[in-house]
């Protein structure tokens, strides 16, 4: 896989944020850890699978340096329901970031 170049189009999310996508993550991680991209893909897929399985069984998943992932119920919107159908609350995966993660992305000055 060729390294990303500055002139290649940047993927954007629906909200206009730049996305560090899976192939780039795998490439950079393989380079940093001096592993093949095939091995890194297997590790990343394995991690995602373990996290998903833990969340499906109702567990919170703590990843050192990143934080805790858990499923939370969100409140139903308070707007008037369409066609007299009440809106249901949704479940979402949320991350409670570790302090060192906030520091690493300059969200917290280590207080």
pLDDT category at 27 given cuts 50, 70, 90 is: very high
Contact 68, 60 (CB under 8 A): yes
Buried b (16+ CB within 10 A) or exposed e, 78-91: eeeeeeeeeeeeee
- Of residues 100 and 81, the one with the higher pLDDT is 100
Higher pLDDT, 78 or 95: 95
pLDDT the model gives residue 4: 46
Write the Ramachandran bin of 40: left for phi over 0, alpha for psi from -120 to 50, otherwise beta. Answer: alpha
pLDDT (mean) for 57-76: 91
As separate numbers, helices (DSSP H) first and strands (DSSP E) second, the chain gives 3, 3
What pLDDT is recorded for position 74? 83
């Amino acid at each position: 896989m060729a390294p990303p170049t500055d002139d290649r189009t940047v993927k954007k999310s629906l909200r206009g944020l730049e996305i560090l996508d899976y192939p780039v993550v795998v490439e950079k991680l393989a380079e940093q850890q001096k592993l093949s991209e095939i091995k890194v893909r297997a590790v990343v897929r394995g991690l995602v699978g373990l996290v998903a399985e833990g969340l499906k069984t109702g567990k919170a998943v703590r990843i050192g340096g990143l934080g805790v992932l858990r499923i939370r119920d969100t409140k139903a919107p308070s707007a008037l329901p369409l066609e007299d159908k009440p809106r249901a609350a949704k479940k979402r995966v949320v991350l409670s970031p570790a302090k060192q993660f906030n520091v690493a992305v300059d969200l917290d000055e280590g207080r």
